[in-house]
Structure 1
């Protein structure tokens, strides 16, 4: 999966080829970026002994200038992403006996779950220049 993600990023970055005559392209991003994020519940703020949770996020970012108005600049942000999530309930007593089919739910929820998420996010940014330099 990491190989496919690397190939996707290389192809995304390689799409900025120019010829001798440059035509103004409306769909060309003004900035591109990559965001890599790792998270877990096992840290000094949110450590919970009832479950374990970890996530890895890989996100591409493309910023498109939409224009400006007065002192404001507007951008559209396109962010395709892939997330790899692992979740497991450790404390089976978290599922209470008064719930329907609680033994089956305990068995299901205490199994390690791997979740893969593909998403496409759209963002809108408004920027104002405060200082010229």
Structure 2
């Protein structure tokens, strides 16, 4: 995972900003709304018994049209987000007995702790329309974030949030609603140590105002 987050962030930054100002001015803001969600490290598949990680999030989701042809469309996604998370180290031996201050580190990391994560995700959405009012979609987005608490897996401070989702959207008049499954990875591309990363799987529900 050393360079994955940096690569994804650079790709999306290039995707959004790598066009001329004339091209960007033609992008149409088509949807804005609020998304809430829940995810955890062991929601569906038990990924790692060393730790627990749970998040509740709220996102301000904005979609800009990139292209649409027949029943297919591509959108740009911009999502400032806030995550309230809980984390706990479970495996006593995750911190090796050879570490000089191992007991001190265990005392610091093994209690359950709450954390705040502030994120700006930028990405792309592929949408397939089933009819005039419903669609299925996939999103891939990445962006910088700040986490305010040290853990044994990730250093406090700057990191990256990488997200993949699959979902369904239903539109009624000027409102639309969606539900999606979310896969998320948080790491800092080895800019700081430790950088074992945090993984979570969950779901999100969104309510949007359709601008077009």
TM-score (norm 2): 0.41
Match of 1:8 in 2: none
Match of 1:20 in 2: none
Taking the aligned partners of 2:72 and 2:87, their CA distance within structure 1 comes to 43
Taking the aligned partners of 2:76 and 2:87, their CA distance within structure 1 comes to 33
Indicate how the Cα distance of structure 1 residues 130 and 49 shifts in structure 2: closer, same or farther if over 3 A, else same. closer
Match of 2:62 in 1: 62
Indicate how the Cα distance of structure 1 residues 86 and 126 shifts in structure 2: closer, same or farther if over 3 A, else same. closer
Match of 2:119 in 1: 119
Structure 1 portions without partners, runs of 5+ = 1-24
Greater strand content: 2
Match of 2:29, SS state, is coil
Match of 1:45 in 2: 45
Taking the aligned partners of 2:44 and 2:64, their CA distance within structure 1 comes to 38
Q: Report the aligned-residue RMSD.
A: 3.4
Deviation of residue 88 (structure 1)?
Answer: 1.2
Indicate how the Cα distance of structure 1 residues 131 and 48 shifts in structure 2: closer, same or farther if over 3 A, else same. closer
**Structure 2 contact 27–65 (Cα < 8 Å) conserved:** no
Deviation of residue 96 (structure 1)?
Answer: 1.9
Q: Computing the radius of gyration over CA atoms, which structure comes out larger, 1 or 2?
A: 1
Residue-pair matches, total: 109
Which stretches of structure 1, 4 residues or more, deviate above 6 A after TM superposition? 25-28, 128-132
Deviation of residue 73 (structure 1)?
Answer: 4.2
**Structure 2 contact 27–66 (Cα < 8 Å) conserved:** no
Is 2:94 aligned against 1:98? no
Taking the aligned partners of 1:93 and 1:72, their CA distance within structure 2 comes to 50
Match of 1:83 in 2: 83
Q: Over residues 48-95 of structure 1, what are the superposed CA-to-partner deviations in whole Å (9 max), with x where a residue is unaligned?
A: 5543321111112111123458x9744221111110111111332332
Taking the aligned partners of 2:42 and 2:66, their CA distance within structure 1 comes to 41
